[in-house]
């Protein structure tokens, strides 16, 4: 009797998860079906240098990585962190890439997602094209095409893609939500780069969906009022701030 109850409940959960996927036009997936598909890409030289133990940024990145890993919510599901900053030019994309590399170097399966459809940078940092990325996957209702990263076998990259529609609509879609659910099941750590919050709302939408945020400001660059406004707007989301980074470069 107990076994029948457990099996019935499991089937119920599978059906509940399958229904929204089918409504969005996505086929059911398993934990082993998300794999890197595209050619290997390579981090730029400055990116590689920053992870040399002799580089002064190395220890700071290791400290940030350790703090975030210690705060993981679940041991058997991916920790997903959204990087938010108020303005452009604060180093958000660079920090996202460095953090993803640092986590992957521990052996944790890591995914770096460029969800900044306004001014995407991750494809430039890794020397590849932005096409066949997140926006195309959402538009087609298909699994995103991931790129493997040379020298970092535990790191996958998802570029922003060539967006043809409204970024806010795209990232508010059921299809994107289901992708995030899949990432939770198939990776150990996910870092999401977003558009600046002072100008665009997509970062707040993703923060509300994911629930865990790392905020960034740049010394002598980020206006105090814009940082305060971003923090105020975050209070109406279902997200928690996991840490704050003050960039000096």
183-222 pLDDT per residue, tens: 999 999 999 999 999 999 999 999 999 999 999 988 878 8
Residue 99 predicted with pLDDT over 60: yes
* 247: three-class secondary structure by DSSP: strand
Say how far apart CA 49 and CA 51 lie, in whole Å: 5
CATH 3.40.50.620 given to domain 44-247:
no
Q: Are 92 and 52 within 8 A, CB to CB?
A: no
State the pairing for strand pair 240-247/110-114: unpaired
Spell out the residues 6+ positions from residue 123 whose beta carbon is closer than 8 angstroms to its own: 114, 129, 130, 133, 159, 160
CA gap 132, 146 in Å, rounded:
9
Backbone angles phi, psi at 241, to 5 degrees: -80, 120
DSSP 71: T
The pLDDT tens digits for 161-190 are 998 789 999 999 999 999 999 999 999 999
pLDDT at 162: 92
E strands in 25-101: 38-41, 79-84
- Report residue 152: phi and psi, to 5°: -135, 75
Which residues, 6 or more positions from 62, have their beta carbon under 8 angstroms from its beta carbon? 102
**Residue 155: pLDDT band with limits 50, 70, 90:** very high
Q: What's the pLDDT score for residue 123? A: 94
> What's the pLDDT score for residue 53?
80
Q: Identify the pLDDT of residue 37.
A: 53
> 12 pLDDT band (50/70/90 cuts)?
very low
Distance CA 185, CA 198 (A): 32
| Contact in structure between 209 and 170 (CB atoms under 8 Å) | no
């Amino acid at each position: 009797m107990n076994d029948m109850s457990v099996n019935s409940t499991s089937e119920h959960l599978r059906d509940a998860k399958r229904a929204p996927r089918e409504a969005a036009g996505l086929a059911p997936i398993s934990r082993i079906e998300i794999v890197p598909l595209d050619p290997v890409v390579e981090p730029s030289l400055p990116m590689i240098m920053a992870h040399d133990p002799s580089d002064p940024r190395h220890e700071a990145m290791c400290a940030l990585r350790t703090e975030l890993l210690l705060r993981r919510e679940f041991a058997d599901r991916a920790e997903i962190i959204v990087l938010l900053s108020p303005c452009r030019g604060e180093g958000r994309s660079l920090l996202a890439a460095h953090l993803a590399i640092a986590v992957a170097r521990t052996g944790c399966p890591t995914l770096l997602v460029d969800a900044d459809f306004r001014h995407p940078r991750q494809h430039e940092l890794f020397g590849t094209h932005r096409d066949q990325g997140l926006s195309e996957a959402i538009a087609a209702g298909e699994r995103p095409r991931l790129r493997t990263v040379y020298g970092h076998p535990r790191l996958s990259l998802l570029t922003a893609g060539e967006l043809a529609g409204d970024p806010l609509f795209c990232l508010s879609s059921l299809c994107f939500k289901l992708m995030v659910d899949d990432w939770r099941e198939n990776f150990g750590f996910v870092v999401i780069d977003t558009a600046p919050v002072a100008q665009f709302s997509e970062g707040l939408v993703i923060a509300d969906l994911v629930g865990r945020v790392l905020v960034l400001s740049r010394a002598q660059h980020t206006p105090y009022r814009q940082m305060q406004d971003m923090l105020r707007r975050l209070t109406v989301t279902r997200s928690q701030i996991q840490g704050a980074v003050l960039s000096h470069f």
